[in-house]
A and B are shown apart, each in its own frame.
Chain A
Amino acid sequence: AQTVTQSQPEMSVQEAETVTLSCTYDTSESDYYLFWYKQPPSRQMILVIRQEAYKQQNATENRFSVNFQKAAKSFSLKISDSQLGDAAMYFCAYLNNNDMRFGAGTRLTVKP
């Protein structure tokens, strides 16, 4: 069964600094998608960034980038120039066919 592990329940970063959130997953599939979702307090989950497993190039969306290591089954999220609005729960997710699995989440605090 596919599992997603986020080993950091909480992380903190100073405003304007860079932070990296870790995620590992377990799968026997070769073709799948990986995502980072952001869930602000009392607000709905929104997609931050996605990565297709067949692509070697790491995805980048503005201040957000990933480090995808397929052999190691690792998918970390780097947030550069952190902003107060980045404070939220961040969930790593794996999708193969219609099976979406989420990690337990990392709560990110941004200090002014």
Chain B
Amino acid sequence: DTGVSQDPRHKITKRGQNVTFRCDPISEHNRLYWYRQTLGQGPEFLTYFQNEAQLEKSRLLSDRFSAERPKGSFSTLEIQRTEQGDSAMYLCASSSTSGSLWEQFFGPGTRLTVL
């Protein structure tokens, strides 16, 4: 399967714990996006990378959130000191600047539940 993959698919944690999610984009894609989707809502943009550079961050991305893409391939999203309001589906998407920039391919998401 050469699509976008995310790990883990589900994560249950206690309030105050740190969690880290991983996203592996389509191999030739140099752009990688993170979104958050709460129940009954559409995805909301969090941040995106072009290669290893983080080019834009939403105001939704509080200080407790940090994203990295150290080698321009996979990316990690870490949430520190989780809160119940962080419970959501975290989606990753990728695209290529050499192809159709508009076409973002989505992964299956990581569902986070904070108890």
Query: Could you tell me which A residues sit within 8 Å of B by CB distance?
Result: 4, 33, 35, 37, 43-47, 50, 91, 93, 95, 98-105
Dominant secondary structure at the B interface: loop
Is B28 engaged at the interface, CB distance under 8 Å to the other chain? no
* Interface-central residue, B43, B56, B106, B107, by most chain A CB under 10 Å: B43
By a CB distance below 8 angstroms, the chain A residues around B44 are 102
Select which of B33, B43, B48, B56 is within 8 A of A91 by beta carbon: B43
By a CB distance below 8 angstroms, the chain B residues around A101 are 45
Dominant secondary structure at the A interface: strand
| B109-A44 in contact (CB<8A) | yes
Report A101 CB to chain B, min CB distance, Å.
7
| B106-A45 in contact (CB<8A) | yes
Given the contacts A33-B102, A44-B106, A98-B48, A4 and B56 also touching, CB distance less than 8 Å: no
| B107-A44 in contact (CB<8A) | yes
| B103-A43 in contact (CB<8A) | no
Provide the B94-111 mask, 1 if CB < 8 A to any CB of A, else 0. Answer: 000000001110111100
Is B85 engaged at the interface, CB distance under 8 Å to the other chain? no
By a CB distance below 8 angstroms, the chain A residues around B55 are 98
Is B91 engaged at the interface, CB distance under 8 Å to the other chain? yes
